[in-house]
Structure 1
């Protein structure tokens, strides 16, 4: 039963040491159609619980090896916020790893529980999922417990953002023929305007899913991303098949004024000429660099 994994490198979070709060089996209040784990009935509480002492002991052992990493990431085979001693664990991790940032990858339901809500306020970075802002679609994709109220969850996410001193990131995973249309993204955009996260990570299925669902193309992801105008969007790209883009100064400044571009966008989509031009515009202070939870965005 391996609790720690990594450190692994990520473009979105740098080097991260993962802490699996449900290492031996799936324990989740969702049963998402796209989950890489086998289907399993959603549950409200963990029934197999690791002791805090065991987790802290393993983290201490890793720290003593002087392994380099930036984040301690709370995750799980399922939903990490179901861990019943979440607040105590966060406080303990903070006490032994003062120079590391604490991150959780959560489906967002923790905001519906006051104690968990308050525990998450103690973290540096929180990442919530929101695959749909339409109740019917939300339950079709995430197969959540029926006592999870989507509208209330969105309201509480907005409340959390207002009180949180760290970085809040939202993640949307797009599933073909379920949430890959304009109506869905108009609803998501309105929800994101309420929540106001630092950024949105937009992706699709990239591993064999639990149920018979399909991914969308990267071109479709790009099209849908343009429907979100409330916050910067980071597209999860593994390759770019289109022609590399080239701009003169006026065109590049106009693009960055209308829509900020991530360093990943620049890397995979731009040819060398606008990359050189961008560096020059940064030196001339015509373009600003925004660090949004470890990912650089360029904006006018």
Structure 2
């Protein structure tokens, strides 16, 4: 008999940043503070800064307990998914309860747009790792690339990132998503680099388009160009790539089912190889299920 599917939990995902990451979705699909031109999930359908209890803590914990009981232990538990997780007012309570449930490190993948709010900063303090974003060096390109909610200014966002990073006892890994001919040019990288110095993350992770974006004009930067742009950035810098040699070898200890695969695909575009690696199944099973 197939296991009952999960409503809020998906994966593990074979993440280029976190290894095998078990995702938790805290908001409805495409409920976000931004409408980024590069988003692999398409256009935002509910652009908001209204925080509320989109998903109940007890419902998430019940699913997480069932998932961990399978014996398949991920490298990270990630609060991420198909929207902006900090929009959920219960995120702090959930982090605390997950930390009391398991020793698996907990990461929060956020666009960082609400970190100027003290209550959002406080909610994330118990996490092990926070991965926010900075995709532009000024207000103009912030509006062009991230298309934020009208009540989010570039200044508020950057100051929130800097203040949170100084207060947070865990590590902050700042993702910088670059677009060819827009932000991936020396003049813009110099602006971004100055802000990175102000924010002070433990490491910076440069990324670019690798899956179909929300807008056709959001174009990727070739690997050799990414390495050249890396030289502008101070401190520890990673290039997030799709290279096969970066893949992690997986040996899962439980049997993934169709519901697991469909839950993963509903939140993240994946190749058959991604599915097989994350869920620990044979690639032919991933191909057959993803066709249905």
Asked if residue 26 in structure 1 is aligned to residue 26 in structure 2, the reply is: no
SS at match of 1:153: helix
Partners in 2 of 1:61 and 1:199 — Cα distance?
34
Q: Which residue of 2 aligns with 1:80?
A: 85
TM-score, length of structure 2 as denominator length: 0.77
Give the one of 149, 153, 156 matched to 1:152: 156
TM-score, length of structure 1 as denominator length: 0.75
Q: Which residue of 2 aligns with 1:227?
A: 232
**How many residue pairs align between the two structures?**
239
Partners in 2 of 1:25 and 1:18 — Cα distance?
14
Q: Is the 8 A contact 2:9 2:24 kept in 1?
A: yes
113 and 96 in structure 1: CA distance in 2 versus 1, 3 angstrom threshold = same
SS at match of 1:231: coil
Q: Is the 8 A contact 2:16 2:240 kept in 1?
A: no
Partners in 2 of 1:152 and 1:133 — Cα distance?
13
Q: Is the 8 A contact 2:10 2:22 kept in 1?
A: yes
Q: Is the 8 A contact 1:31 1:142 kept in 2?
A: yes
Offset, 1:49:
1.7
Q: Is the 8 A contact 2:172 2:201 kept in 1?
A: yes
Asked if residue 238 in structure 1 is aligned to residue 242 in structure 2, the reply is: yes
Asked if residue 100 in structure 1 is aligned to residue 134 in structure 2, the reply is: no
Asked if residue 140 in structure 1 is aligned to residue 153 in structure 2, the reply is: no
Q: Is the radius of gyration larger for structure 1 or structure 2?
A: 1
Q: Which residue of 1 aligns with 2:251?
A: none
Question: Runs of 5+ in structure 1 lacking a partner?
Answer: 241-262, 265-300
Q: Is the 8 A contact 1:27 1:46 kept in 2?
A: no
Asked if residue 91 in structure 1 is aligned to residue 96 in structure 2, the reply is: yes
* Deviation per residue, 1:227-283 (Å, 9 max, x gap): 11x21110022349xxxxxxxxxxxxxxxxxxxxxx96xxxxxxxxxxxxxxxxxxx
* Deviation per residue, 1:56-89 (Å, 9 max, x gap): 1000111222222221100021111111211111
Offset, 1:2:
3.0
Q: Which residue of 1 aligns with 2:203?
A: 199
Partners in 1 of 2:81 and 2:15 — Cα distance?
17
Q: Is the 8 A contact 2:53 2:89 kept in 1?
A: no
Higher relative contact order (CA 8 A, sep 6+): 2
Partners in 2 of 1:47 and 1:65 — Cα distance?
31
CA RMSD of aligned residues (A): 2.0
Partners in 2 of 1:17 and 1:179 — Cα distance?
31
* Deviation per residue, 1:212-236 (Å, 9 max, x gap): 22112112111111111x2111002
SS at match of 1:7: strand
Q: Which residue of 2 aligns with 1:121?
A: 125
- Which deviates more from structure 2 when the two are superposed, residues 36-45 or residues 69-78? 36-45
Partners in 2 of 1:14 and 1:156 — Cα distance?
28
